[in-house]
Chains A and B, each alone.
Chain A
Amino acid sequence: MNHLPLIIKREYLTKVKNKSFIIMTFLSPLIFMSLIAVVAYLTQLNKNKIRVVSILDESGLVSNVFKNSENTSYNILEGMSLDDAKALVQESEGYGLLYVNAISEEKLTSENLTFYSEESPSLTLISNLEGKIQSELTLQNRIKEGIDIDKLKATKVNIEINQESFEGEKTSKVDSVVKLIFGGAAGYLLFMFIIIYGNMIMRSVIEEKTSRIIEVIISSVKPVQLMLGKIIGTSLAGITQFVIWVILGGVLMTVASLILGIDMSEMQTPQQQIMEQAMENPEVNVQLQNSITAFYNLPLANLVVAFLLFFIGGYLLYSSLYAAIGAAVDNETDTQQFMLPIIMPLVLAVYIGIFTVIEDPHGTVSTVFSFIPLTSPVVMLMRIPFGVPIWQQVLSLLILVGSFMFTVWFAAKIYRVGILMYGKKPSYKELIKWIKY
């Protein structure tokens, strides 16, 4: 008799009907979105505040390069001593004072420049000031040396090397970034999914043990069936939650931006400001278009299929281990010693993905770890956007499926014995013994 659908249905319904599950499902996006809204709101507040920066230029070389901008206004001070200027700025509660020393040899160097302020100044402001002074001084130097500025500009050359694989597939630097984002998102999603819902499976096994219903259940059902039912049921509940999160997040995002009048997409961070400045540069605009084409250049079909297969395989592999841990212990506090060997390869996989795959997606480390079953789902998902030969994907998947079947067998053994063991905190040695029972 196949009870699997029945078990899956029960597991799914109890998870979904659980109060804390419902609350988490609907509250999480709300909390998340309100956090974003608060940050957005604060950023806007920040944006509206105008910083007053006073300039005391004793050299007279740079005072005319400072033009007031949206959130910084410059106050040019003249004919006063440094001490007076400091006192004035402090009194008027200005943001700070840039002091340029009088120069003797007509050469302005870093030693002549000092910024005085109450608190340490913002990094972007300082680099902004530095940039302005730097380009002004460079310009002055060039003029002094008799260099034709227009000619100089005209001689400047911009180079970008085209990348093409031997098969004729075109790529570019922007492509790499897009690929990275795709692979990273896929790998990270799997990582989060395993941790959240793996734990949920473990808890539900422990719950069955502590409520002592387990013996009744397995007098009707094979332990493997119960375990698989639990894993699949919980995963379906997890997918439901995820989908609701995505939908609700989208709706809330729209509602929030309508009500609060905050345009989320225009939320500005310093990085974005720099980006925007760069956008004015026509070259970058081309790059943006490149990134759109890069998206279409991705091996999309391969990506989607591989994502589904590796996601399912990796998730099932880990969740069967979680189920085995749940069966081996009596309560959640005892799970710690067994959690480490699960979390370790998972974290390792993410680190390898972030540090090694970016640097060298087809290097030895990336390739090897994309075959080792505990790390392969994450690492391979991150590698695939960079184009992995089909035979490697298939091989990795076969290894994954093989080890998944092995872990299910292994977990089922531990599960079968563990669920009937009470009161003892098992050691690894004992777990090995259980397999022989």
Chain B
Amino acid sequence: MNNLLEVNNVSKYFGDFKALNDVSISIPRGSIFGLLGPNGAGKTTLIRVINQITMPDSGSVILDGEPLSQKHIMDIGYLPEERGLYKSMKVGEQAIYLAQLKGLSKAEAKKRLKYWFERLEIGDWWDKKIQELSKGMAQKIQFVVTVLHEPKLLIFDEPFSGFDPINANLIKDEILRLRENGATVIFSTHRMESVEELCDDIALIHKSNKILDGNLVDVKRQYKINTYEVGIRAKNQMLLEQELSEKFNVSKANFKTLEDELKLNIKLQQNGKPNDLLSYLTQKGEVSHFVELIPSVNDIFIQAVNNN
């Protein structure tokens, strides 16, 4: 089994409203999987289906080769977007309770919590009540609670919201470390830069449908725009620009250079070769800059959503 989780043709209706329409995704074992989509697309519903909070109307979910059932609850760790802990309960007590709900024994929970609290340097919070902590502090506790039972599958919904940059980085490193230790991570977010940075695979959900999924590099290749960013020095830049715009699809580019030079984005024809472009350009002037433009996840996101 190469995939830890397979969602097959899942649909979910709320009354007349279709929240998920025949959605299928596969999440490779040990990967970080980005679940993307605009607000209200159905991401949270899908996550809730995986968590068995919501039952799908049709379709199935296979975790680790078995249809999802009650016993898989301890295989999943879920950090929901709407976070919260019991306000008037002490940190330690609460963490132990939540860990017990995930099937850990009290002693084991205590042992692991000690380890995590030391690791994140929050040991002296043990006897504090949640209402005495700041929002960021409470988030840290919640993160620990989510990963404490060492689940196979971790689901993070906007994990970095509410963290300052230092703590966000700390959490990011912890997520990467968990993956190294064998966990598979589903990562739902609007922050595209963290998707670029962390995700191996993505799926894009829009208006209850999955409109795109796959390995991030493959997706990018699929959305390749065949455009090159070019910097070139010539005697008469105006004339060169005119000449190029007659021959290619050209737009102004913007990047930093040492000299004053012509900066353009040049889009090739469907079967145009970059080498041909380069050799053409070298005849016209001195090429100082030649880079293929790779679409960002952000661009892909916007383009895919608009195309639908």
By a beta-carbon cutoff of 8 Å, the part of chain A in contact with chain B is 1, 3, 6, 10, 14, 18, 207-208, 211-221, 420, 422, 433, 436-437
Contacts and interface: CB of A to CB of B under 8 A. Distances in A.
Q: Which of A14, A207, A220 has the most CB of B within 10 A?
A: A220
B40 interface: no
Contact of A433 (B15, B48, B70, B100): B15
A212 B82 CA distance: 6
B89 A14 contact: yes
Contacts of A18: 88
Contacts of B178: none
A215 B48 CA distance: 9
Interface in B261-307: none
A213 B70 contact: no
A1 B73 contact: yes
A213 B131 CA distance: 13
B73 A219 contact: yes
Given A213-B84, A215-B53, A10 B15 contact: no
Given A216-B78, A216-B145, A211 B84 contact: yes
Nearest to A419: B53
Given A216-B80, A219-B53, A436 B102 contact: no
B9 interface: no
B103 interface: yes
B82 A215 contact: yes
B198 interface: no
Contacts of A1: 70-71, 73-74, 103
Contacts of B80: 212, 215-216, 219
A213 B101 contact: no
A220 B82 contact: no
B126 interface: no
A340 B276 CA distance: 80
8 contacts: A3-B100, A14-B88, A213-B86, A215-B78, A216-B83, A216-B145, A220-B73, A420-B53
B87 interface: yes
B86 A14 contact: yes
Nearest to A220: B101
Given A220-B101, A420-B53, A211 B78 contact: no
B78 A437 contact: no
Q: Which of A207, A216, A433 has the most CB of B within 10 A?
A: A216
A218 B70 contact: no
B255 interface: no
Contacts of A213: 84-86
B98 interface: yes
B100 A211 contact: no
B101 A3 contact: yes
Given A6-B97, A6-B101, A14-B89, A219 B51 contact: yes
Contacts of A436: 15
Contacts of B83: 212, 216
Given A213-B84, A214-B84, 4 more contacts: A3-B100, A18-B88, A216-B80, A433-B15
Contact of B98 (A214, A220, A422): A220
Nearest to B15: A433
Nearest to B98: A216
Contact of B85 (A6, A14, A211, A220): A211
Given A1-B73, A420-B53, A433-B15, A217 B101 contact: yes
Q: Which of A208, A213, A218 has the most CB of B within 10 A?
A: A213
Interface string B142-186: 100100000000000000000000000000000000000000000
Q: Which of B84, B86, B89 has the most CB of A within 10 A?
A: B84
Nearest to B50: A219
A244 B248 CA distance: 88
Contacts of B97: 6, 10
Q: Which of B70, B71, B76, B102 has the most CB of A within 10 A?
A: B102
Contact of A218 (B14, B53, B84): B53
A220 to B, nearest CB: 4
B78 A219 contact: yes
Nearest to B131: A211
Nearest to B78: A219
A14 B130 CA distance: 14
B161 to A, nearest CB: 13
Contacts of A219: 51-53, 73, 76, 78, 80
B14 A437 contact: yes
User: Which 7 residue pairs across A and B have the least CB separation, nearest first?
Assistant: A212-B84, A220-B101, A215-B80, A213-B84, A211-B84, A219-B51, A212-B82
B102 A220 contact: yes
B113 to A, nearest CB: 16
A253 to B, nearest CB: 34
Nearest to A13: B93
Nearest to A417: B14
Contacts of B98: 216-217, 220
A211 B87 contact: yes
Q: Which of A10, A214, A218, A219 has the most CB of B within 10 A?
A: A219
